Chains A and B, each alone.
Chain A
Amino acid sequence: MIIAVLSGFFFAALLPLLGRFARKSVPLIFSFLPIALFVFFLTSLPLIKGGNTWISYHSWIPSFGIDLSFRLDGLSMLFALMITGIGALVFTYTAYYLKGHPYLDRFYGYLSMFMASMLGVVLSDNLMSMFIFWELTSISSFFLIGFNNEEASSRKSAMTALGITGFGGLVMLAGFVLIGHAADTYSITELLTRPEVLKSHSSYTWIIVLVFVGAFTKSAQFPFHFWLPAAMKAPTPVSTYLHSATMVKAGVFLLARFTPILGDTFWWNTTLITIGAFTMLYAAIHAIFRVDLKSILAYSTISALGILVFLIGIGSEKALLGAALFILAHALYKAALFLITGIIDHQTGSRDVSKLAGLRKVMMPVAVAGFIAALSSAGFPFLIGFLSKEVMYEAGLQFGEWAFLLTAILVLTKILLFVAGFWAGIKPFSGILPNEFQKVTLPSALLWVPPLLLGTLSLLFGVFPSIIEQALIQPVVSSMTGKESPIYLALWHGFNLVLLLSVITLLLGFFLYVFLKPSEKLFSKTLRFENISPENIIETIGSYFSIFAIKWTKFFQNGYLRNYVITILAFLTILTAYRLFGGVNIYIDWKQISVITPSEIIVVVLMIISIFFAILSTSRTASIVALGVVGFANCLFFLFYSAPDLAMTQFSIDTLTVLLFMLVLVKLPKNKTFSSKRIRIRDAVLSLLFGTLIAILTLEVFEEPSSSEVSKYFADNAYLLAKGRNVVNVILVDFRGFDTMVETVVLVIAAVGVFSLMKLDLNPSKKE
């Protein structure tokens, strides 16, 4: 299964090499991958029959509990089939839709990357790998939305989408980490075996809030919904694939996935029902105020996602069945509607629903597909939309004391969606063909076959629900409920309340469709509320955030090296000093201290004097000489305290450094004082504090008993193992030979650097 998931990434990686060729000669070749994957998942259907799962495990980062294990059960199968199936259609559709586009291969690269990440999300058994794939979908969708990267609005939409979904993903990661912390595992399979651990855990509320934010941002729930309409800037195949059928459902998938683990508690149900109900109604109302076909579809998609969240919120078996059916039904009809919109846009150059009409005369097959899709969306009998709607109403009616209100909202939403679906699927094709569209022609079959195929499926599943009943839907439901209960889908439930509601929906919807005409006027009325829309508020926050970031950066990253040093060291000094004041007592163990001899005192005094001289002298030569004295005094310390090797090295190096300084710097101008007195005093104070701190720290460390196991090992084995008597040298050339080798390399690099700096002629004045 890992190959199935990752193949998309390999495919995308291959495209830079092969893409040019494939783009020019056979763009259809790109469809091969999704078709193959679709067939693969279709043939795996028997594996999940009756609620079975297929798990394949691959170790990745075992120490963090992260692995690449995949879990194929009913839920992931439904999504995997949708991803690859609709993927195959979209890949094919794109071959014609973007024919001759200079970046077609790039587009396919992004698409297959997206497909692979999406498969990763739905198949991952490990929460961490699921998160990684989750963010990969956000990233690849960023590229797809901003595919027309020359348009500012495309780039802005892409940024918005990435910002919202990426933010949600990070919040979700926090939720996952909490889950891992609470349950001590990231494996979904393991979590499924003991759901009570999380539900009774003290951080349960936090977990669901964080997971909700992740799901709501991805699935465009209020108040994070606005990125989806904006994302419609993308080419139509992208809108079809990402923003109706797959990616936006990832949030729903997440909620469905966690239903058996986290669900069925008061907060879970209430939150999901409230948010879902609000979103579905809010977006449905928005949908019928739009005139752009894509906007209508975008808002009706948000509304549909709201319905799904709402159904998962209800959480009864019926509701989950309704959700499973609706996921499939919605994918089929909404993808078809998007594809049809794409065809209309491609052929007529317009998406204005108030202008489009009568197109059936010129593109009959498309009109048929649109007709079926619209009917399925509205929930007419003999279509899969009908099945899902029936179950949905039933679930709503069973919900105890709030049943009336919830069902009413559901019915209202459905009526509005009826109108939206008809506008998108039927309105452009009905009526009289206006003059401006007389010359429109039927496009290539590559464009209209996919939506027609989707329509046929809607019809097929609607008339013969038994095809999917046991093989697909039953495993889906059982993976959400965790129970194996038989389901029964039928077209005819007898005369009851549900049927009545269905009839009401259809009648009222049709009534509205006939009397409400889409127009710019209606749309402009909604603009008044823009100021208080969540989109505006979040954007304002975003812009303040970037202003703050700029100011922050300008303050700290001001380009002056010394300011960085000051900031870092002042912070360090203050922090450590604070800690030292808070209870570290300094004492000196006089027994450890060795006695002072006169010669040492002379060296110490010499050193102190020369340090001050090196700092304060105005003459360069004097500074350099003083520096030399510091070095030689250092060398004497090494000599006094049994380090002849160090003394010799220090002596030679010091000589060389002084020589070097003399050679180079005698020709430089005299020392100047650049800084003002105030700054100098400030620096002096900071430096003294820093020096004191280092001294105190040294003292502290010095008073700790030193652990010398390593030294002891070296000393004991220097002769026995390495046949040397000078332990320092043995450490350098034998025990730690590798370090020394790297050190010599560093020295060589420095020498080469010096050499090239001196030889390279950078001086612009010489060229003139």
Chain B
Amino acid sequence: MKSLIFRTASTYLLPLMLLFSIFILLRGHYLPGGGFVGGLMAAIAFLIHSFAFGLKETKEIIKINPGYLMPIGLVLAVGSGMVPLFVNDPFLTGLWFEEPFRFIGMVGSALFFDIGVYLVVIGATLTIMFSITESV
């Protein structure tokens, strides 16, 4: 798998796909996309990189253990659901900023929830795939 073309291509592919996955994540509220798909895309991006360069290098790029992404994502999702509690709304009520942000659009608690899902999906998928690759 470690052919020169594949390697060269994946060097550029990784940032592109990651960018695309974030794009998919952010537009999810308005157009097809969202945390699940975005997370899966990002995970696939890292996987392709690991096929080209080996697991070790990919792990260096990610810097943190993908396993940690799962609790971070969960905390983010639960946290975004907890925010409405402070203004006496039920758990997971959607709250929004009044004005849209540039490039991102409307920002609200649902967006953070989706980011949480995104991180959990990356974390879970990568954990599964990496632990398998390591053991083979």
Contact = CB atoms under 8 A, between A and B. Distances in A.
The answer to whether A and B touch directly, with their CB atoms under 8 angstroms apart, is yes
A72 B24 CA distance: 71
B67 A755 contact: yes
Interface range, A side: 35 or more
Contact of A660 (B77, B116, B132, B135): B132
B32 A645 contact: yes
Given A723-B94, A758-B134, A730 B128 contact: no
B67 A722 contact: no
A443 to B, nearest CB: 66
Contact of B70 (A659, A660, A723, A748): A748
B11 to A, nearest CB: 20
A224 B50 CA distance: 76
A726 B81 CA distance: 20
B10 interface: no
Contacts of A725: 29-31
Contact of A724 (B32, B110, B123, B131): B110
Interface in A733-758: 733-734, 737-738, 740-741, 744-745, 747-748, 750-752, 754-755, 758
A724 to B, nearest CB: 4
Nearest to A741: B77
A729 B44 contact: no
B22 interface: no
Which label, helix, strand, loop or mixed, suits the secondary structure of the B interface? Answer: helix
B34 A645 contact: yes
Interface string A754-765: 110011000000
Contacts of A596: none
Contacts of B110: 722, 724, 730, 733-734, 737
B94 A747 contact: no
A664 B91 CA distance: 41
A758 B73 contact: no
Nearest to B114: A733
A751 B77 CA distance: 18
A748 B74 contact: yes
B58 interface: no
Contacts of B113: 733-734, 737, 740-741
Contacts of B28: 726, 729, 733
A627 B77 CA distance: 33
Given A733-B110, A744-B116, A758 B32 contact: no
Interface string B27-41: 011111111110011
Contacts of A733: 28-29, 34-35, 110, 113-114, 117
Nearest to B107: A723
B29 A737 contact: no
A78 to B, nearest CB: 55
A664 B126 CA distance: 15
A76 to B, nearest CB: 48
Contacts of B121: 744, 747
A521 B40 CA distance: 88
Contacts of A729: 28-29, 33-34, 114
Contacts, number: 139
A725 B81 CA distance: 20
Given A655-B44, A667-B136, A747 B124 contact: yes
Contacts of B132: 660, 663-664, 754, 758
Given A656-B125, A663-B136, A758-B135, A645 B33 contact: yes
A648 interface: yes
Which label, helix, strand, loop or mixed, suits the secondary structure of the A interface? Answer: helix
Interface residues of B, number: 48
B106 A758 contact: no
Interface in B29-67: 29-37, 40-41, 43-44, 47, 67
B83 interface: no
A621 to B, nearest CB: 15
Nearest to A753: B128
A649 interface: yes
A744 B118 CA distance: 10
B23 interface: no
B30 to A, nearest CB: 4
Interface string A474-493: 00000000000000000000
Contacts of A14: none
Contact of B94 (A734, A738, A741, A758): A734
B127 A751 contact: yes
B33 A726 contact: yes
A723 to B, nearest CB: 5
Contact of B37 (A649, A738, A747): A649
B39 to A, nearest CB: 9
Given A664-B132, A723-B106, A659 B47 contact: yes
Given A723-B106, A737-B81, A738-B92, A748 B120 contact: yes
A737 to B, nearest CB: 4
B106 to A, nearest CB: 5
B55 to A, nearest CB: 12
A519 B29 CA distance: 94
B41 to A, nearest CB: 6
Contacts of A533: none
A723 B28 CA distance: 12
A176 to B, nearest CB: 42
A758 B132 CA distance: 7
B129 interface: yes
Interface string B79-108: 001000000000110101000000000101
Nearest to B118: A744
A566 interface: no
B61 to A, nearest CB: 19
B133 interface: yes
Contacts of A609: none
A554 to B, nearest CB: 39
A523 to B, nearest CB: 74
A664 B136 contact: yes
Contact of A648 (B33, B47, B94): B33
A652 interface: yes
A653 interface: yes
Nearest to B70: A748
A448 to B, nearest CB: 67
A163 interface: no
Nearest to B126: A751
Nearest to A749: B124
A726 B116 contact: no
B18 interface: no
Contacts of A664: 132, 136
B74 A732 contact: no
Contact of A759 (B30, B73, B96, B131): B131
A504 interface: no
B32 A726 contact: yes
B14 interface: no
A656 B129 contact: yes
Contacts of B77: 740-741, 744
A721 interface: yes
Contacts of B73: 744
Given A733-B35, A733-B113, A747-B121, 15 more contacts: A645-B37, A648-B24, A652-B41, A652-B44, A724-B30, A725-B29, A725-B30, A726-B31, A729-B28, A737-B81, A741-B77, A741-B78, A751-B127, A751-B128, A754-B128
The 5 closest A-B pairs by CB, nearest first: A652-B40, A644-B32, A751-B124, A724-B29, A758-B131
14 contacts: A645-B33, A648-B33, A652-B40, A653-B40, A656-B43, A663-B136, A726-B30, A726-B31, A729-B114, A730-B110, A733-B114, A744-B116, A748-B74, A755-B131
Interface of A: 644-645, 648-649, 652-653, 655-656, 659-660, 663-664, 667, 721-726, 728-730, 732-734, 737-738, 740-741, 744-745, 747-748, 750-752, 754-755, 758-759
Interface of B: 24, 28-37, 40-41, 43-44, 47, 67, 70, 73-74, 77-78, 81, 91-92, 94, 96, 106, 108, 110, 113-114, 116-117, 120-121, 123-125, 127-129, 131-136
